[in-house]
Amino acid sequence: MIAAAAEDGWELLVDTTRWPTWSPVISAVDATDRYVRTGTSGRVRAPGVWLPFTVTDCGERSWSWRVARLPGATHRVDDLGPDRCRVAFELHPGSVGAAPICLEALERIEAVLEDGDPI
């Protein structure tokens, strides 16, 4: 549980300009849209390489994407009441190796939302 409103968590996840503030591997983003929606595409800068991405689905507080044509994590925010939310990443079975990266990202998200730390 994160001590922040679900709207704040959602805003952080969908604002492509803020991805580098919480992702341990993304240092830059070049996207067609600042705020993700179904069809948003572009590229993310990971260590040593730019990788293409496309948002494949964006619904109510949940979005999924493909990175370098592979399924990426689904990003989700659950509203747990006033000033409380849960941020979750759902991994495809073939991408369980990304779990440590996702865990670090979730810790950074919590720091940004609760403390305002830009990490």
Domains and CATH numbers, the chain: 6-114 (3.30.530.20)
Structure tokens at 112: 């940004």
Output the pTM of the full model: 0.93
pLDDT at residue number 116: 80
CA distance 47 to 115: 27
| pLDDT band at residue 95 using 50, 70 and 90 as cut-offs | confident
Q: Please check the confidence at residue 117 and state whether its pLDDT lies above 90.
A: no
